[in-house]
Amino acid sequence: MKISIIGAGQVGATTALKILENKLAKEEVVLLDIIEGLPQGKALDLAQSGYSVKITGSNDYSKMEGSDIVVITAGIPRKPGMSRSDLIGINANIIKDVMKNVVTYAGNSIIIMVSNPLDIMTYLAYKVSKFPAARVIGMSGVLDTFRFKTFVSWELNMAAQDVQALVLGGHGDSMVPLIRYATVGGVPLTQLLSKESIDKIIERTKNGGAEVVSYLKTGSAFHSPAESVTLMVAAIAHNQRRLLPVSAFLNGEYGAKDLYIGVPAILGKNGVEKVIELKLNEEELSALQKSMDDVVNDIKKLEI
């Protein structure tokens, strides 16, 4: 297993660390960036931490040749006051260039997109690469679900590990936490918290990334995205066939076609093994449709 990470910023470097810690790459971890010295320095620092797996830092895309999984974190992060959609123009150009190199040097790889706006960049990567849709996946609902579970556990003063939840839709303000499917230790969330408390948690989840940005000022979240990516990498590398909410290609599911959006999917050695179509009620379907409409409107801003 050779894993390459494109983008050696906070998310990319932290992802590399977690991949090494979890022993997910048996052959090599490659850290790539266009900034000279950045990936080399971070790779050297990681290598000096005592890991047995080879770690390479480079500005040369050819170093990812033969990669099984390519994680893309390249792009400009949000600043305070910015929405993810504000990044479309500049990050689209970066992702186009990145994907041309992925096709050249890692044409059989599985892509995990992390760059924002996530669903739109995942769609762009799919279109530019012409890879099978199953091999192009976006990290969206895994992170959003982590945030939701965290805020629920804080409100209840209970372990986050006992919270089971799903967040669907676009990785943005119109994401859809499915309260009807949320439980804590098997107990429905609605029996433990009032609607008012749940609504506050939903709102904080939707603004979870922006809240981090507002504190950091010059950067965005990196520990939680890296943990989310690592969960997905493990599911693929070990063929765990885990059911995770990710940005996956829809071809008729949930009434949508030619669209990437956050849905539950089984992740295994081939990438997205299957999209799971839940039986949603009218309110949930309406919320998901609005989220899909928002993503479609952003996709229209792309020049592919």
In tens, the pLDDT along 46-74 reads 999 999 999 999 999 999 999 999 999 99
pLDDT by residue (tens digit) across 197-255? 999 999 999 999 999 999 998 889 999 999 999 999 999 999 999 999 999 999 999 99
Radius of gyration of the chain (CA): 18
List 160's β-bridge partners, or say none: none
Confidence at residue 250, expressed as pLDDT on a 0 to 100 scale: 98
**And the tokens for 190?**
């609605």
**Does the annotation mark 171 as catalytic?**
yes
What's residue 216's pLDDT?
A: 93
Both tokens of residue 301? Answer: 């801003």
Residue 257 CA to residue 185 CA, distance in Å, equals: 36
Domains of the chain: 2-138 (3.40.50.720), 141-299 (3.90.110.10)
Read off the pLDDT of residues 140-179 as tens digits, 9 standing for 90 and up.
Answer: 899 999 999 999 999 999 999 999 999 999 998 899 999 9
CB within 8 Å of 108: residues ≥ 6 apart: 68
Which backbone phi and psi does 243 adopt, to 5 degrees?
A: -90, 110
CA 105 – CA 247 distance, rounded (Å): 24
CB 97 within 8 A of CB 115: no
Q: Residue 199: enclosing H or E segment and its boundaries?
A: helix 195-206
- Which residue bears the tokens 């952003």? 298
| pLDDT higher than 80, residue 183 | yes
Side-chain-side CA neighbours of residue 52 (13 Å): 4
DSSP 8-state code for residue 23: T
CA distances from 189 to 150, 162, 195, 199, 226 (A): 13, 11, 10, 12, 27
Q: Point out which residues pair with 185 in neighbouring strands.
A: none
Residue 100 CB partners (closer than 8 Å, separation 6+): 128
Write down the pLDDT at residue 84.
67
In one-letter notation, the amino acid at residue 41 is: G
Instruction: Tell me if 265 sits within 8 A of 272, measured CB to CB.
Output: yes
Distance CA 250, CA 91 (A): 23
| Dist. CA 114–CA 162, nearest whole Å | 26
Of 63, 171, 206, 242, catalytic: 171
> Tens of pLDDT along 72-114?
999 977 677 767 678 887 899 999 999 999 999 999 999 999 9
pTM for the full model? Answer: 0.95
